[in-house]
Chains A and B, each alone.
Chain A
């Protein structure tokens, strides 16, 4: 598989608003705060940004709206990819690598939606945000698909819900050290078992937490990145992955779906794999997505995650360290930091690889595997590495 863009494009700027469950700002306000922070973090100005990737979160500002609000001078590449995050990052990498633009801003602004949050439902300004809700109970389109397939996983493998509970507990433990995270109180497996069922077998703690907030990134060529303030974080390999039968209820099986396509592509493009990584950021919009990434990336085989997580659990830290050293979702993931649809995973990986994660910093971290997205139409991944 060709990989001509390997290490040729780098993250140079990161900006975030942090996250809240009590939002009172518009998506444009959130997006502008994250975007300006990311551009300034990169040591750049409005005049340098000539590409804008405006992730199509419901209610989020369009690329032209961002360009106008930021007062950009001249822009030669725009796009509006659907969430999850890597749809925007792979587009940004392609745009920079091809020469469509030199410095590209990727902005993703999340709003709690009225159907998913009582607080959001009380905000009159959100009443016209397009709904992402499935219309009828008897549909497994979108979010409910994960509950349906979580049940299938338990049925096929004989695993217990402990496998999902450990994902939730690990996330919350790590979030305690992340000041951006909305859920930072410790969690135990007993708390997990006691949580309210939503879509049985999934309970509240199997689902990420709806938040308001925005993340933004600036990417440019690795050559230019080396003249900017921060240690560049290189996109070593990146891919999306879908199969034809990607409709949620028609997916042939858990044995081959989008995650498998991602892993095949990354393994073909990347010189680095799980033996080489210092950090692992599997998506956790739902806990069974994370379990899928453990198994499909090859940390363990299908149906083996319950034993694998137990064997790699550090009791006195109440969290995972894979093979005794690789932490998982050091920021707390979407389950605890906030449901950013993967922007949090990418931001934390870049922050760690820069060596700028403060008390969360993993010593000597130089390679991260980031695998956002679920099973159906947004499976995706990247290998990121610190320059040098």
Chain B
């Protein structure tokens, strides 16, 4: 279903110490290592959902397919963390860290939450058009957004 790199389940968990990975969302996180954003889409009714679940919440089909999306979208929620959980690439003392929830163009009804890189925090506002980018965190790819 995907161009899986040959990451074993054990390697996947070991390489994402900052993420709680389960059987049903492993394909989504495995996609990060191909720098592909995979969102679950129902093979029966076409409904998209996120976070990944093993069964379509709209029609109860188990035929859910992790499907690549571009990651382009529009900021729906935005906040600036002046303090928060630690991450190796985040330094709150240098300024607030933006966190956005984005309506994905390719997956109607689904949002994806991450940060926005390459912009001043004051520019991170609801309605901003963004596209997908990738950074490294703990030596693994991590999906982020940048201004479109």
Spell out A's residues near B (CB within 8 Å).
133-140, 144, 147-149, 151-152, 155, 196-202, 244, 247, 249-250, 252
Give the residue name and chain of the B residue nearest to A136 (CB): B18
Residue of B19, B78, B96 ringed by the most chain A CB atoms within 10 A: B78
In the bound complex, what is the Cα–Cα distance between A200 and B97 (angstroms)? 10
B85→A198 contact, CB < 8 A: no
In the bound complex, what is the Cα–Cα distance between A291 and B122 (angstroms)? 26
In the bound complex, what is the Cα–Cα distance between A358 and B77 (angstroms)? 44
- The interface on chain B, measured as residues whose beta carbon lies within 8 A of the other chain's beta carbons, has a size of 32
A160: shortest Cβ distance to chain B, in Å?
16
Interface membership of B37, Cβ < 8 A: no
In the bound complex, what is the Cα–Cα distance between A134 and B20 (angstroms)? 11
Interface membership of B12, Cβ < 8 A: no
CB-CB under 8 A from A144, the residues of chain B are 79, 81, 84, 99
CB-CB under 8 A from B144, the residues of chain A are 138
A/B interface sample: 29 pairs, CB < 8 A: A134-B85, A135-B85, A136-B18, A136-B87, A137-B81, A137-B87, A137-B97, A138-B115, A139-B85, A140-B101, A144-B84, A148-B77, A148-B99, A148-B101, A149-B77, A151-B79, A155-B127, A197-B96, A198-B81, A199-B82, A200-B80, A200-B82, A202-B79, A249-B77, A249-B101, A249-B112, A250-B110, A250-B111, A252-B109
Q: A138-B115, A144-B99, A198-B82 are in contact. List 6 more A-B contacts (CB 8 A).
A: A137-B99, A137-B115, A139-B85, A148-B77, A152-B77, A249-B112
Known: A138-B115, A139-B113. Is A197-B101 also a contact (CB below 8 A)?
no
B117: shortest Cβ distance to chain A, in Å?
11
Contact of A140 among B50, B80, B109, B113 (CB under 8 A): B113
Dominant SS at the A interface? loop
CB-CB under 8 A from B51, the residues of chain A are 247, 250
A147→B79 contact, CB < 8 A: yes
Known: A148-B99, A249-B113. Is A198-B19 also a contact (CB below 8 A)?
no
A14: shortest Cβ distance to chain B, in Å?
36
B79→A137 contact, CB < 8 A: no
CB-CB under 8 A from A155, the residues of chain B are 126-127
In the bound complex, what is the Cα–Cα distance between A201 and B20 (angstroms)? 28
Known: A133-B85, A140-B99, A140-B101. Is A199-B57 also a contact (CB below 8 A)?
no
A384: shortest Cβ distance to chain B, in Å?
35
Spell out B's residues near A (CB within 8 Å).
18-20, 50-51, 57, 76-85, 87, 90, 96-97, 99, 101, 109-115, 126-127, 144
In the bound complex, what is the Cα–Cα distance between A225 and B105 (angstroms)? 58
Residue of B20, B50, B113 ringed by the most chain A CB atoms within 10 A: B113
In the bound complex, what is the Cα–Cα distance between A252 and B19 (angstroms)? 25
CB-CB under 8 A from B81, the residues of chain A are 137, 144, 198-200
CB-CB under 8 A from A247, the residues of chain B are 51
CB-CB under 8 A from B127, the residues of chain A are 155
Give the residue name and chain of the B residue nearest to A141 (CB): B113
A148→B111 contact, CB < 8 A: no
B40: shortest Cβ distance to chain A, in Å?
12
A16: shortest Cβ distance to chain B, in Å?
31
Contact of B78 among A135, A151, A198 (CB under 8 A): A151
A136→B85 contact, CB < 8 A: yes
Known: A136-B87, A140-B101, A249-B101. Is A200-B114 also a contact (CB below 8 A)?
no
B79→A148 contact, CB < 8 A: yes
Give the residue name and chain of the A residue nearest to B78 (CB): A151
B113→A138 contact, CB < 8 A: yes
CB-CB under 8 A from B20, the residues of chain A are 135
In the bound complex, what is the Cα–Cα distance between A149 and B112 (angstroms)? 15
A70: shortest Cβ distance to chain B, in Å?
36
CB-CB under 8 A from A198, the residues of chain B are 81-83
A200→B84 contact, CB < 8 A: no
In the bound complex, what is the Cα–Cα distance between A249 and B113 (angstroms)? 7
CB-CB under 8 A from B97, the residues of chain A are 137
B80→A244 contact, CB < 8 A: no
CB-CB under 8 A from A140, the residues of chain B are 77, 79, 99, 101, 113
A116: shortest Cβ distance to chain B, in Å?
11
Closest 10 pairs (CB-CB, A-B) = A200-B80, A148-B77, A249-B101, A147-B79, A138-B114, A155-B126, A249-B113, A197-B82, A137-B84, A148-B79
B48: shortest Cβ distance to chain A, in Å?
11
